[in-house]
Amino acid sequence: MRYKLFGHSGLRVSELCLGAMTFGTEWGSGADKIESQRIFEAFVSAGGNFIDTANRYTEGTSERFLGEFIAADRNRYVVASKYSLHDQRDDVNASGNHRKNLMRSVDQSLRRLNTDYLDILWLHMWDFTTPVAEVMRGLDDLVRAGKVHYLGISDTPAWIVAHAITLAQMHGWTTFTGLQVEYSLIQRTPERELLPMAHHFDLCITPWSPLGAGMLTGKHNSVIAPDSRLTAKSPKINEKNRLIAQKVSEIAAQVGATPAQVALSWLRQQHPQIIPIVGARRAEQLIDSMGCLQVSLPAELMQALDQASAIELGFPHDFLRLPGSQDALFGDMKGTILNHRA
């Protein structure tokens, strides 16, 4: 395991992030405490130090288990948790992005994790009810109080993230250093707005569900009936995604890797600031995923995966790439401009 800088900060995090959403069985799946510790130890023994959880995961068990696992050497680990999601269904203020829930939720996470601080706090989902200024000022107060070191934002439109970063910069408040989004070979829509925005602001990108909820592991490669119980279970299980997964499996056989390793390698090779969140229900699954660190896909195989999973970027991106648009913008001079921002 090597280490990367977390966005525009100096924080050093492992090149894979361990997703602790599977720590606990309260949601009907996941790992019990013994298996969760095996998963944690497999990650740490490989050099991993970056671990992602949330106040809501397995009704708080994820944070409690993780708190016990890190207790012997707390400062070694980069612990990230989240706020926004409800943990009391019948309390109107026990969810959302607002200050009251922010302060309450973080205090409870710290108690469950048995720690004085979070290395990274993610805003989990944008609620469309809280003003951006209230969010950014509240987050800055937590950093100044020493309860949080760095900030990230997850599952939020690009224009809101850009607004929040600009507002924080104007006021001298702590700003976001990371962006968490769903991104994989079967979910490439973040390439339209979210990823270019993140690159512009030098944010670390931590994709969740990098294996498409298991679709890219090859376990659903056989033909899928449109009305099958599998398709009812998950909208990701469909014929289009099956063909993408099949291409992943074909390439995995060519390079002597597993499909999961190929899917994660494609993701990692998109940009140096991408750190996939890898989760597992068994330690052996995690060990297999970490094998992606030994896989490097050549350009022609990257291109094959790109083509198999291609999406339309839509307006204005596709329009601006048209030869006529480029001609109208640059005339005969485009080839003379050395554009380092391209």
Kindly name the residue from 57, 77, 117, 150 that is annotated as catalytic. Answer: 57
Position 307 in a domain: no
Per-residue confidence (pLDDT) for residue 265, from 0 to 100: 98
Q: 86 with 193, same domain?
A: yes
Residue by residue, DSSP assigns 178-198 as EEEEE-BTTB-GGGTTHHHHH
83 is catalytic: no
CATH code of the domain containing 145:
3.20.20.100
Residue 317 and residue 202 in one domain: no
Confidence bin at 159 (pLDDT 50/70/90): very high
Look at residue 292 and tell me if it is in a domain: yes
| Shared-domain flag, residues 122 and 190 | yes
* Identity at 182, one-letter amino acid code: E
- The verdict on 156 and 47 lying in the same domain is yes
Per-residue DSSP letters for 266-330? HHHTT-TTB--EE--SSHHHHHHHHGGGG----HHHHHHHHHHT-----TTHHHHHSHHHHHHHH
Q: 228 pLDDT exceeds 70?
A: no
The average pLDDT across 19-23 equals: 98
Q: Could you tell me if 213 and 336 lie in one domain?
A: no
Q: Quick check: is 294 in a domain?
A: yes
Q: What is the pLDDT of residues 23-80, one digit of tens each?
A: 999 999 999 999 999 999 999 999 999 999 999 999 999 999 999 999 999 999 999 9
Shared-domain flag, residues 52 and 104: yes
Question: 176-182 and 17-19 as β-strands: parallel, antiparallel, unpaired?
Answer: unpaired
323 lies in the same domain as 193 = no
Q: How many domains does the chain have?
A: 2
Q: What is the mean pLDDT of the chain?
A: 95
306 located within any domain:
no
Could you list the residue range(s) of the whole structural domain that residue 267 is in?
Answer: 3-301
Model confidence, pTM: 0.94
Overall average pLDDT of the 219-244 stretch? 72
**Tens-place pLDDT, residues 116-143:** 999 999 999 999 999 999 999 999 999 9
**What is the C-alpha to C-alpha distance for residues 100 and 96, in angstroms, rounded to an integer?**
9
322 and 290 co-located in one domain: no
